[in-house]
Homo-oligomer: A and B are copies of this chain.
């Protein structure tokens, strides 16, 4: 295991002290910040998410704030999903594309007011992107990074914990909808969301000086429900078919290749970035798609940092973008970003280093 060197280029989150107290052992970096990824017992962290409730520092999901009379116009220009019917208090999962229709992020877009939006982003710099587009098109909108840091409460008992802290109204919040409120005087946004399929909420802390206080409120309220620390769980997210921008995408990936086609509305305005390219891709059909893949190997394999090539009949047909040993399936499962000539049920080979792994393509999600 290699260490990570502290640097002002890699900020800790407002929950850093709390996660250190929880015994964090590993971090990744994401949007120039540190995100806890492990607390010493990966399997316990997995089952806690599956059976009880898990508490995550996901402050790295930074907010690109659009504020001003043209905020809504800019949000729509940036997104090929139709936002015209989005209500205040509603979030929508949106692909962001460049002018060639290549995916550059996949945020949740929160509409806080007619003139105020947050893009809760994945791991790429959308501040620069939004600023350049706004300036080049002469829009009246200010782009900034507000003091907002999400914490996730995930798992089948998450709703009990959040209701315990915030009140029973949270039970009626629909998926991706949110409400601005306070918890013991700490300003937050409470949204039903989170990067797992086990259900739960994200609590957007709006005062970075209150990270430990907010963490501890949920830690205490969650104790009767078996709460404990965790982070976006690699195994659960692969089992559930959740795509990671930057992990399962490359510099040429369009939304259709990674199961996001349903979030593209081809009738958005013509000035939406990338829409001409997306209309063409939709008409022609994408050249790759994302399927599940199960390796024959019975023991856990180590895929390393990089993508690994997938072959069919001796020819490279795609890439194994991730691979993990599933605690529930007891198999090595992953995603294949692969030519559309390859289909569910096909036999292929994944080459990891010098090893050749026979494998089968499957549908997603696995579970």
- Chain A positions near chain B (C-beta within 8 angstroms): 1-12, 24-30, 32, 34, 37-38, 98-99, 104, 123-125, 128-129, 131-133, 135-137, 145, 244, 246-248, 251, 273, 304-307, 321-322
Contact = CB atoms under 8 A, between A and B. Distances in A.
Given A305-B6, A305-B10, A246 B32 contact: yes
A225 B123 CA distance: 42
Q: Among A6, A7, A8, which residue has the most Cβ atoms of chain B within 10 A?
A: A8
B123 A125 contact: no
Nearest to A319: B8
A128 B104 contact: yes
A12 B305 contact: yes
Nearest to A145: B251
A37 B7 CA distance: 11
A173 to B, nearest CB: 30
A3 B99 CA distance: 38
16 contacts: A2-B27, A3-B3, A3-B4, A3-B26, A4-B4, A7-B247, A8-B246, A8-B247, A8-B307, A9-B246, A10-B305, A12-B305, A32-B123, A98-B135, A128-B132, A132-B136
Contact of A99 (B131, B247, B321): B131
Q: Among A6, A251, A304, which residue has the most Cβ atoms of chain B within 10 A?
A: A6
A211 B312 CA distance: 29
Given A1-B3, A11-B306, 7 more contacts: A3-B4, A5-B28, A9-B28, A98-B131, A99-B135, A128-B132, A129-B132
A128 B98 contact: yes
Given A98-B128, A129-B129, A247-B8, A2 B30 contact: no
Contacts of A8: 244, 246-248, 305-307, 321-322
| Shortest beta-carbon contacts, A-B, top 5 | A125-B125, A99-B135, A136-B136, A1-B3, A3-B26
Q: Among A25, A28, A248, which residue has the most Cβ atoms of chain B within 10 A?
A: A28
Contacts of A247: 7-9
A26 B26 CA distance: 13
A27 B6 contact: no
Contacts of A133: 132, 136
B2 A24 contact: yes
A128 B34 CA distance: 23
A167 B25 CA distance: 48
A4 B306 CA distance: 15
A123 B125 CA distance: 11
A209 to B, nearest CB: 13
A306 B135 CA distance: 30
A27 B28 CA distance: 11
A135 to B, nearest CB: 4
Given A98-B128, A128-B98, A136-B136, A4 B2 contact: yes
A28 B2 contact: no
Nearest to A322: B8
Contacts of A11: 305-306
